[in-house]
Amino acid sequence: MSKVLITRKIPGSALEKLKQSHDVTMWDFDRVMTPQEIMELGRDADAIICLLYDRWTPEMMDEFPNLKIISNYAVGFDNIDLEAATQKGIVVTNTPSDEVNESVAEFTWALLLSISRRMVEAGEFAKKGLYRGWEPEIFLGHDVRGKTLGIIGLGRIGGMVAKRAQGFGMKVLYYEREQHPDREKELGVEYKALDELLGASDYVTIHVPYTPETKHLINEEKFKKVKRGAFLINTARGGIIDEHALVKALQDGQLAGAALDVHEREPQMNPELMQMENVILTPHVASASVEVREKMTEQAVDAVIKTLNGEQPETIVNKEVWEKKRK
């Protein structure tokens, strides 16, 4: 019977299917496993279902001689050295789906509207019992109708964000490494170079993957290009923004506010951003819906079962490994 280690408790009925045919160990404690704990519990594992916080370096992989698949319980997989996994014959999978994309797009809009209309500030004010009656100038925010939304990354999630902007009567700009004329027509969006987009947008939202090329894509230089008084939203990866430069842009008034679900040094959050009233911080929960988490569990489990049965999983990331995978 193949051995499977799951590095964090995950929801969903699909786990029962896995337990019926495999020897499953799941970490029950409410914290991230250390690399040492993963090695101790899973050294002889044939498959591992892990989180995006679990770092898989070449040296880490060498500690698992039987490992055939790392099933990453996330859409992104920058926590895994993909080249090393491929060289060692280890299959890597992730959990992309329309359910995840729609959920992140919805959450992006929740953040955008919340920061624009100062919902978090107003909610905390009311909870503290400070409300004394309606006032003409209490918590004045900004309407989004007629404003310009700049989308950095017009992939699946970026496209869904753009579709929702149509309902709010916004002009939508986008930036990608390559222009997409067909999608421009479909979504009613206009291509701009990054600096042009930043200078023209009232709201900027980020939807690119985290790679060496996108690390600190939004840095001090780029903040100088941003339209003064704009809002920044990030539900992609924290490292895409230089948070030190972000703090300065907020302090200088270059940005009116920021809403971040992802953070440069997760799980740590920037202490200066935590003190700012015009900043919303959430703990990486853009895809945290019951429907999405159950779908992710189903995908992660399915990938393990298929790989161990010799069937190529639909969500394989390193497809070139399949012909030379570990037996």
Contact 282/303 with Cβ under 8 angstroms?
no
Do 219 and 171 share a domain, yes or no? yes
Do 90 and 37 share a domain, yes or no? yes
Do 247 and 303 share a domain, yes or no? no
Taking the alpha carbons at both ends of the chain, their separation in whole angstroms is 14
Do 24 and 116 share a domain, yes or no? no
**In the structure encoding, which two tokens stand for residue 277, read together?**
């009233």
Quote the domain boundaries for residue 155.
98-281
Dist CA 312 CA 304 (whole Å): 10
pLDDT in tens, 228-283: 999 999 999 999 999 999 999 999 999 999 999 999 999 899 999 999 999 999 99
pLDDT in tens, 273-325: 999 999 999 999 999 999 999 999 999 999 999 999 999 999 999 999 999 99
Average pLDDT over residues 129-150: 96
pLDDT in tens, 108-130: 999 999 999 999 999 999 999 99
Compute φ and ψ for 146, nearest 5 degrees: 85, -5
Compute φ and ψ for 204, nearest 5 degrees: -125, 130
Catalytic residues: 237, 266, 284
Q: Which of 284, 224, 305, 249 is nearest to 17 (CA)?
A: 305
Do 35 and 58 share a domain, yes or no? yes
Q: Residue 216 in 3-state DSSP?
A: coil
Q: If pLDDT is split at 50, 70 and 90, which confidence band does 1 have?
A: confident
Do 240 and 137 share a domain, yes or no? yes
pLDDT value for 178 = 93
Do 112 and 129 share a domain, yes or no? yes
Do 87 and 152 share a domain, yes or no? no
Do 169 and 239 share a domain, yes or no? yes
pLDDT value for 289 = 96
What CATH number is given to the structural domain containing 62?
A: 3.40.50.720
Do 267 and 163 share a domain, yes or no? yes
Do 113 and 9 share a domain, yes or no? no
The tally of domains found in the chain comes to 2
Average pLDDT over residues 134-162: 97
Question: How large is the angle between the packed helices 98-116 and 119-127, nearest 10 degrees?
Answer: 70
